């Protein structure tokens, strides 16, 4: 029986995947094997020594002391892409809102209330103020073809847009998942010079901060519409507002409002609603529950921020998993300790991520507790788990 502590309300759809025959799940539980968390701040929390894994139902892990966890051999998971569809749908909404003056039109229509006018007549007379353009046939540029960017690309193709993407680090899986009609740009500047709409889907870091600035705006077509549903800081706000005032930029719509852009007439700020759907919360919980149960039951690791992706089919009756410092001669010492305990290795895998290495070793026979203790004593070994195949 594994014990899972939940530090926030986690969607039932996720927790239901943890069969109550094998899992005890509660907000308060002594000696948990795993923790599922959303936003609870674990930075100052005393994490029980029994904890083997923490799954964050969401992408960011700022609320988890990842380095401390790594030192203790605790695997930290997140759920990348689980909210991608929610963000994609809001990006599509943003593209439509930037093309059709729906928001302004609705606001104006509401203002007619109580004005003692013939509504039908006034609407027909004034509606031309809110005319727009269509997405079909326009060119969309996408910076960052990850979980969200690829979904936006595919749906924009379905809407009849021409789509061009730029991502020098695209993964093979994301490339496989993309509509073949999406054009590839090897140069950000070329992409910028061609598009009617630009949408940004990259992480904020030193190399992407301010990536859309005055120089880049100058390369773009006059009246370009820009969407930023990734992070504040990717676009230089001062340069953007100059571009909007001069007409170089037609419209800016973002999901991450900054004080200085809130009241600009050509900017729509959404209050960070990208991932705020019931389905996204459920998807995150489902993914977190699958990751943590897979790890507790098999030792296999997928979507960890501090341990390497490691997958070895559990084809034997027993296996041992060992995390250790990524230093020379560890594998030799581990296999020697197993051999001296007369253990026969059926299969094994060794991976590393940064300073941490992780091994999964399938064994033909059961292992004596002394061998497990000897493995724990090897200098550089961080944690050891001995697992029986229940399936
Ligand atoms: N609005 C919201 O609520 C919300 C929700 C989830 C994510 N986000 C933001 O959206 C971003 C994208 O999310 P995702 O799930 O698609 O992430 P992802 O990691 O799946 O994709 C990011 C992509 O950006 C690419 N990339 C990195 N640096 C680049 C560069 N300099 N030029 C071009 N491409 C580059 C990467 O190769 C990767 O393919 C996240 O970093 C996050 O900041 C926002």
Look at ligand 1, atom 21, and give the residue with the nearest C-alpha. Answer: 146
Parallel, antiparallel, or unpaired: how do β-strands 75-77 and 139-143 relate? unpaired
Rounded distance from Cα 225 to ligand 1 centre (Å):
19
Q: Which residues contact 32 (CB under 8 A, 6 or more apart)?
A: 3, 4, 5, 48, 50, 51
The C-alpha angle with vertex 80 and arms to 198 and 299, in degrees rounded to 5, equals 160
Portion of the chain with pLDDT greater than 70, in percent: 100
| pLDDT classification of 203: cutoffs 50, 70, 90 | very high
CB-CB neighbours of 332 under 10 Å: 9
With 80 as the cut, is the pLDDT of residue 111 above it?
A: yes
| pLDDT classification of 48: cutoffs 50, 70, 90 | very high
Report whether 298 contacts 329 (CB < 8 A): no
Is the sign of the CA dihedral 66, 68, 71, 72 positive or negative?
negative
**Is 260 annotated as catalytic?**
yes
Task: Give the tens place of pLDDT for each residue, 287-337.
Answer: 999 999 999 999 999 999 999 999 999 999 999 999 999 999 999 999 999
Which residue out of 89, 182, 189, 203 has the highest number of ligand 1 atoms within 8 Å of its CB and is therefore the one to mutate?
A: 203
227 strand-pairing partners:
199, 253
| pLDDT classification of 97: cutoffs 50, 70, 90 | very high
The catalytically annotated residue of 124, 126, 272, 278 is 272
State the pLDDT at residue 16.
97
Q: Which residue's entry shows tokens 């674990």?
A: 42
CB-CB neighbours of 366 under 10 Å: 11
Give the global pTM: 0.85
Q: Which two tokens stand for residue 182?
A: 């999406």
State the pLDDT at residue 391.
75
**Ramachandran class of 276: left when φ > 0, alpha when ψ lies in -120 to 50, beta otherwise:** beta
Rounded distance from Cα 326 to ligand 1 centre (Å):
29
Rounded distance from Cα 62 to ligand 1 centre (Å):
17
| pLDDT classification of 390: cutoffs 50, 70, 90 | confident
State the chain's maximal CA–CA distance in angstroms: 94
Rounded distance from Cα 383 to ligand 1 centre (Å):
33
Rounded distance from Cα 40 to ligand 1 centre (Å):
23
Which residue out of 87, 144, 145 has the highest number of ligand 1 atoms within 8 Å of its CB and is therefore the one to mutate?
A: 144
- Per-residue pLDDT averaged across 243-252, rounded? 98
Nearest in space to 140 (alpha carbons), one of 197, 200, 77, 204: 197
- Per-residue pLDDT averaged across 153-159, rounded? 98
Q: Which two tokens stand for residue 277?
A: 């759907």
With 80 as the cut, is the pLDDT of residue 252 above it?
A: yes
Parallel, antiparallel, or unpaired: how do β-strands 23-26 and 381-388 relate? unpaired
| pLDDT classification of 60: cutoffs 50, 70, 90 | confident
Look at ligand 1, atom 28, and give the residue with the nearest C-alpha. Answer: 202
Which residue out of 56, 57, 81, 148 has the highest number of ligand 1 atoms within 8 Å of its CB and is therefore the one to mutate?
A: 148
Look at ligand 1, atom 25, and give the residue with the nearest C-alpha. Answer: 144
361 membership: H or E segment, kind and range:
strand 356-363
Report whether 382 contacts 358 (CB < 8 A): no
Query: Quick one: how far is CA 350 from the chain centroid?
Result: 26
State the pLDDT at residue 59.
85
What's the rounded Cα separation, in Å, for the pair 147 and 88?
A: 9
Q: Which residues contact 309 (CB under 8 A, 6 or more apart)?
A: 301, 302, 303, 351
Look at ligand 1, atom 2, and give the residue with the nearest C-alpha. Answer: 274
SS3 12: helix
In ligand 1, the atom with minimum distance to the C-alpha of 207 is 31
SS3 161: coil
Rounded distance from Cα 81 to ligand 1 centre (Å):
9
Rounded to 5 degrees, φ, ψ at 258 are -115, 145
With 90 as the cut, is the pLDDT of residue 87 above it?
A: yes
- Per-residue pLDDT averaged across 94-102, rounded? 96
CB-CB neighbours of 276 under 10 Å: 15
With 80 as the cut, is the pLDDT of residue 105 above it?
A: yes
Pocket of ligand 1 (CB under 6 A): 59, 80-81, 83-84, 87, 143-149, 166-167, 169-170, 174, 201-203, 207-208, 229-231, 255, 272, 274-275
State the pLDDT at residue 228.
98
């Amino acid at each position: 029986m594994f014990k899972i502590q939940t530090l926030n309300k986690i969607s039932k759809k996720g927790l239901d995947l943890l069969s109550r025959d094998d899992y005890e799940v509660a907000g308060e539980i002594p000696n948990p094997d795993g923790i599922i968390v959303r936003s609870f701040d674990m930075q100052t929390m005393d994490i029980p020594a029994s904890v083997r894994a923490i799954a964050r139902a969401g992408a960011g892990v700022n609320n988890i002391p990842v380095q401390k966890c790594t030192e203790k051999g605790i695997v930290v998971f997140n759920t990348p892409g689980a909210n991608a569809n929610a963000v994609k749908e809001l990006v599509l909404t943003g593209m439509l809102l930037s093309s059709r003056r729906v928001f302004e039109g609705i606001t104006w229509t509401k203002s007619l209330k109580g004005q003692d006018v013939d509504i039908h007549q006034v609407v027909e007379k004034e509606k031309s103020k809110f005319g727009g353009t269509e997405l079909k046939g326009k060119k969309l540029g996408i910076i960052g073809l990850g979980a969200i960017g690829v979904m936006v690309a595919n749906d924009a193709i379905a809407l009849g847009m021409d789509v061009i993407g730029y991502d020098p680090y695209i993964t093979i899986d994301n490339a496989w998942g993309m509509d073949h009609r999406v054009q590839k740009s090897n140069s950000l500047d070329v992409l910028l010079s061609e598009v009617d709409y630009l949408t940004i889907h990259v992480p904020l870091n030193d190399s992407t901060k301010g990536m859309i600035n005055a120089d880049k705006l100058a390369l773009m077509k006059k009246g370009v519409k820009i969407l930023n549903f990734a992070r504040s800081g990717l676009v230089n706000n001062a340069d953007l507002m100059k571009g909007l005032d001069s007409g170089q930029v037609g419209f800016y719509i973002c999901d991450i409002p900054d004080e200085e852009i809130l009241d600009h007439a050509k900017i729509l700020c959404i209050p960070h609603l990208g991932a705020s759907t019931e389905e996204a919360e459920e998807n995150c919980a489902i993914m977190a529950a699958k990751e943590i149960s897979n790890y507790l039951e098999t030792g296999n690791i997928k979507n960890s921020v501090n341990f390497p992706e490691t997958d070895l089919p559990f084809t034997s009756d027993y296996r041992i998993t060992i995390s250790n410092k990524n230093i020379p001669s560890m594998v030799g010492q581990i296999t020697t300790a197993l051999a001296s305990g007369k253990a026969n290795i059926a299969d094994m895998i060794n991976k590393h991520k940064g300073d941490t290495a992780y091994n999964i070793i399938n064994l033909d026979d059961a292992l004596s507790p002394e061998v497990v203790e000897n493995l724990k004593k090897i200098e550089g070994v961080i944690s050891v788990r001995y697992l029986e195949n229940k399936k």
